[in-house]
Amino acid sequence: MKTYRNTLRIRGDDAAMECASKEVFATTVEIISLKQKFIICPWFSRFCPVRRTRASLPLWAFAGYLFGMSILSASAQAAIQEPSVAPPTLLVAVDHRPTISLNGDWHTIVDPYGTGLYTFHGKLRTDGYFMNGYQAPGGEAPEYDFQKSPVLHVPRDWNTQRESLFFYEGPMWYEKDFSYRRKPGTRVFFHVGAANYRSYVWVNGQKVCEHEGGFTPFDCEVTSRLKDGGNFIVMAVDNTRLADGIPTLQTDWWNYGGLTRDVSLVEVPEQFIDDFDLHLKRGTQTVIEGWVHVAGAAPEAQTTVSIPELNVNEAAKVGTDGRATFQFEATKLEPWSPEHPRLYRVHIHPGQDDLEDEIGFRTVEVRGTQILLNGSPIFLRGVSIHAEAPYRTGRANNDEDMNMLLGWVHELGGNYVRLAHYPHDERMTRLADRMGILVWSEIPVYWAVEFDNPAVLVKAEQQLHEMIRRDRDKASIVLWSVANETPVTPARVEFLKALVAKAHEQDPARLVTAALLVRTEGMTKIIDDPLGEALDVIGFNEYIGWYEHTPEDADKTVWKIAYDKPLIVSEFGGDAKYGLHGEPDTRWTEEYQANLYRHQLLMLRGIRQLRGMSPWILMDFRSPRRPLPGIQDYFNRKGLISDQGEKKEAFYILQKAYKEGTIGETE
């Protein structure tokens, strides 16, 4: 699909709805008489010529608050009153809907200076790369051409696909041609599983949406933008790290950029299910409760939920809020558990739409210092995992990656994983559902984000919302985590308490946690972070024997815990390079790491209210913070398994403890 330069004036109509100054706006209107509205500029974007100015800041902060969504969505709504750039809807269970995959090769242009969007004076271009132009005979000569540009495979990060992109952080343009035929009575969404970190989407030269956040899905409505026959999508994905981003500038993982998860077109009827929550009611073994939200449904429209294997066929009417609520008895229900990960086919049918999901039903709750699964105390024998692909490295994004990672968890004797430090691919949580592995899922509120910046809270809330919405139907997820190792300040406590409250409000059926830092006084470790008051389960990280003291010092450590709640040690560990051997007190050797694990396990056994653990970490992973030549080579080596799948000695120490049950008091 090509666009002739001389058609730009017509097509530029909507394409000019990019971030721009007022001056550009005026010029644009004059040239192409836009049905244009206000023009906006996300202040933090590398694409943006006007970075945070005094005048724009209050306006943006205000817009962010007003709409309570991402800054992008909020600002888009405030500034551009056009349905095509409405905030991305979030469809749910997209992997259970028929979709038209747009995975595969996309043409790409690396654009470190944002030339595809801005002129040499930093003004918005009306003929930017989003127009997908090329040189027509006798026409002007655009200085780009997607068709002649190299391809990148989607889904996959760009860093591990092309050597020159290994350290690249910045904007990348993606383009894909496809043909399409509209079906009457349908709405069409462009679904992106994840794109790191900010995304801008145009269809046939017209802007359709923006999204911020690298690990959650978004959907752009493209119904009126598609035409019968040839179409093209252009995306700009920018993984520039931002001080006011979630995460922020510092992370101990690779900032893999690009379209890292599946992309597709999703066709839905005009009235469609855009959210639902069906779960086992706490305190019961057989009562299922919840609701189904139907977008576009008329009040009183009938929605049914049926579970044929349980002889359930229930109907309810949609209320004025678009929700049909349910509560019904399923007498033959077999609850989901790690030992018996029973999933049921659940049909949801609100008139026109029809969705079939696979759902497990279980309860999870806290009683004193116990975690109860289906009413019985449980210990979470786990390990932490990054979404790093075994062997080839890069973002994990296919079934093989997921099977391998969770297969190792089973081999360890585990029943639980902490999916650090951001929501992983939906394949992972689906697989955990099928394999019976309990999950801690987290948003990347990691280390020192701008806790005193209200706009950052809006972003965190957005990511939390998107994570919960995508995975509410997964029985495996028992814990939502709102943060990891954040510095204890009053602003941060308020910020995180707000997130905890949101998580409870959006999902009252699960537990909320965070990985806290621990205070040290001599050989005493103290957990008294004020955030603990708000959490259901307290996660804590400690690195005795690696970042402080010796592994043996764990034996003398005394624990003081201010809360009478269940505790999970969400991280402990130390580095070892696979194949490097030596004395147990020699750093980086497998023996050192194994020794550290032995002492840690002994110490942890003594913590009365410990109900779970996820040592750091299952497999070595890439990190730009780890340059030590010959040992790290840009890998964090705390894995129990190397990036090449080789098991280190410590793997077997943990496996023995899990399999023999020498760790894991449930009450």
Whichever of 209 and 467 has its CB closer to ligand GCB, that residue is 467
> What's the min distance (Å) between Cβ of 625 and ligand GCB?
8
- Rounded Cα distance, 307 and 343, in Å: 11
Contact 589, 583 (CB under 8 A): yes
What lies within 8 Å, CB to CB, of 113 at 6+ separation is none
Beta bridge partners of 370: 367
* Structure tokens that stand for 246 in this block: 């979630």
Q: Which is nearer to ligand GCB, 109 or 618 (CB)?
A: 618
When the beta carbons of 157 and 575 are compared against ligand GCB, the nearer one is 575
Taking each helix axis from N to C end, the angle separating 649-660 and 590-605, rounded to the nearest 10 degrees, works out to 30
Residue 359 CA to chain centroid, in angstroms?
A: 20
Closest distance of CB 542 from ligand GCB, Å? 9
DSSP β-bridge partners for residue 519: 526
**Which are the contacts of 148, defined by CB distance < 8 A and separation ≥ 6?**
none
Give, for 42, the enclosing helix (H) or strand (E). none
Using a 10 angstrom Cβ sphere, with 0-12 exposed, 13-18 middle and 19 or more buried, the burial of residue 209 is buried
- Tell me how far, at minimum, the Cβ of 446 lies from ligand GCB, in Å: 7
Task: Considering the complex, state which of residue 84 and residue 255 has its C-beta at the smaller distance from ligand GCB.
Answer: 255
Non-local (6+) Cβ contacts of 547 within 8 A are: none
Q: How far is the CB of 579 from ligand GCB (least distance, A)?
A: 20
C-beta of 577 vs 638, nearer to ligand GCB? 638
Nearest 5°: phi and psi at 73? -65, -45
Q: Are 588 and 606 in contact (CB under 8 A)?
A: no
Alpha-carbon distance of 303 to 256, in angstroms, equals 41
| Closer residue to ligand GCB, CB minimum distance, 213 or 444 | 444
DSSP category for residue 662: -
Burial of 548 (0-12, 13-18, 19+ CB in 10 A): exposed
Distances (CA, A) of 465 to 63, 195, 217, 462, 650: 19, 17, 11, 5, 37
Query: Which residues lie near ligand GCB (CB under 6 A)?
Result: 252, 421, 484-485, 541, 571, 616, 636, 638
For the bound state, the minimum distance from the C-beta of residue 517 to ligand GCB, rounded and expressed in Å, comes to: 8
Q: How many CB atoms lie within 10 A of CB 607?
A: 18
Q: Which is nearer to ligand GCB, 565 or 638 (CB)?
A: 638
Q: How far is the CB of 167 from ligand GCB (least distance, A)?
A: 19
Least distance from ligand GCB to the Cβ atom of residue 485, Å: 5
Closest separation in Å from C-beta 252 to ligand GCB: 4
C-beta of 422: minimal distance to ligand GCB in Å?
11
CB of 444 to ligand GCB, least distance (A): 10
**DSSP state, residue 149:** S
Cβ neighbour number for residue 188 with a 10 Å cutoff: 22
Judge contact between 531 and 540, C-beta under 8 A.
no
Q: Give the residue with the Cβ less far from ligand GCB, 278 or 617.
A: 617
Residue 502 Rama label (left phi>0; alpha psi -120 to 50; beta):
alpha
When the beta carbons of 255 and 370 are compared against ligand GCB, the nearer one is 255
CA dist 116 and 260 (Å) reads 22
CB of 541 to ligand GCB, least distance (A): 5
| Least distance in angstroms from the C-beta of 302 to ligand GCB | 48
**Residue 160 or 636 with smaller CB distance to ligand GCB:** 636
Question: Which residue's CB comes closest to ligand GCB?
Answer: 252
Nearer to ligand GCB, 178 or 543 (CB): 543
Question: Is the Cβ of residue 328 or residue 543 nearer to ligand GCB in the bound state?
Answer: 543
Q: Give, in order, the Cα–Cα distances in Å from 117 to each of 36, 114, 120, 140, 240.
A: 18, 6, 10, 18, 16
Q: Which pair of tokens denotes residue 232?
A: 């093209």
